[in-house]
Amino acid sequence: AAKADGRGLHRFYHQDMLIGAQSRKQLEDDLRTALAQNQLHVAYQPVVSTKTTRIVGFEALVRWTHPERGAISPAEFIPIAEDCGLIESIGEWVLRTACHDVAHWPGDVRVAVNVSPIQFANPALPTIVTSALAGAGIAAGRLELEITEGVFLNESSSSEQMFRKLKAIGVRLALDDFGTGYSSLGYLKNAPFDKIKIDQSFVRGAAVPGNRNAAIIKAIVMLAETLGMETTAEGLEVQDEIELIRELGCSHVQGYVYGKPMPAAEALAQLEAQGGAASASGFKVSRSPR
Ligand code: C2E
Ligand code: MG
Ligand code: MG
Ligand code: MG
């Protein structure tokens, strides 16, 4: 009986995997169509300076509205795009869109774009970045590329070369989701990051007394400062976290408490509401975090 059950179980799993593969293939096809038919768009989440409490930039986050399934999270479709080779085209489209949008914002406001390790491994990336900057007519310093530790899984000499080329263009580099996965301090030794983004899993609960995340954030901030890098704490959701993160010394913050990802036009409206530029020049509108 046990044997029969085992076979039944096996058959069940097999069929389940088959359905999974089919719907995944379907999603791949749909994603191809999405790119061609403008179902993708970019949302922008404010990045706020803890010192001035002004918006100094936005992170570009890709969005997909599927005609039948509605909104699908990038956490679901980016890995599929990476597997089926679509990430190159999607990533380039996001990059060009973000550069085009930031061109309409005050001159010192930046945009951050997520770059997949697969894009990072493509020797054509510096050419694509240069072309996107030129196409939008923006200074390289207004673009920040967010890279995860996944890039270090590739052969190190080629990634070192890529870092050098990107820095030579003048774009800024941020290490995203720091502290998750296979963090190694060795990565920070050689890579020319301008900023470390502290993953939201450390922010969550950090304001609760006795929680050890605050100590970890503090250590990361000290490390970053010593290396001359900025820090962004990700995923701040409540007021208590704002106070704590400021005390811990993070230079920048990002999270729902400051604003959810929004359309480009709304991002521009928020910048206008704070009186234009990122730097606190002219009149200053005090922003009450929502
Ligand atoms: P990420 O780059 O770490 O982006 C931050 C994620 O945290 C975003 O999720 C953002 O909406 C979310 N977030 C921000 N503030 C809060 C908060 O206060 N609370 C909570 N719970 N979440 C918050 P999103 O947009 O769903 O993106 C998920 C991931 O998908 C991104 O993580 C990034 O790894 C990837 N991704 C998004 N857009 C792109 C893209 O254009 N290219 C690539 N390669 N990856 C992308
Ligand atoms: Mg990011
Ligand atoms: Mg992140
Ligand atoms: Mg992430």
Residue 227 CA to its chain's centroid (Å): 21
Ligand 1 pocket residue status of 56, Cβ below 6 Å: no
d(CA 38, CA 24): 20
- Specify the pLDDT at position 282: 46
Quick one: tokens of 31? 């994603």
Which residues lie across from 196 on neighbouring strands? 175, 231
Query: Does the structure show a pLDDT above 90 at 56?
Result: yes
Ligand 3 centroid – CA 234 distance (Å): 7
Confidence of residue 246 (pLDDT cuts 50, 70, 90): very high
Confidence of residue 43 (pLDDT cuts 50, 70, 90): very high
Flag whether the pTM goes above 0.80: yes
Ligand 1 pocket residue status of 274, Cβ below 6 Å: no
All residues with CB under 5 Å from ion ligand 3? 176-177
- Specify the pLDDT at position 243: 93
Ligand 4 centroid – CA 129 distance (Å): 22
d(CA 126, CA 54): 31
Query: Does the structure show a pLDDT above 70 at 261?
Result: yes
CB atoms within 10 A of CB 260: 14
Choosing from 114, 125, 146, 254 the residue with most ligand 1 atoms within 8 A of its CB, the one to mutate for a pocket test is 114
Ligand 1 centroid – CA 235 distance (Å): 9
Task: List helix spans (H) across 137-263.
Answer: 156-169, 186-190, 200-203, 213-226, 239-248
Ligand number nearest CA of 73 is: 1
Q: Are strands 110-115 and 40-49 parallel, antiparallel or unpaired?
A: unpaired
Ligand 3 centroid – CA 278 distance (Å): 22
Could you report the per-residue pLDDT of 69-78, keeping only the tens digit for each? 999 999 999 9
Q: Interface pTM (ipTM) of the complex? A: 0.98
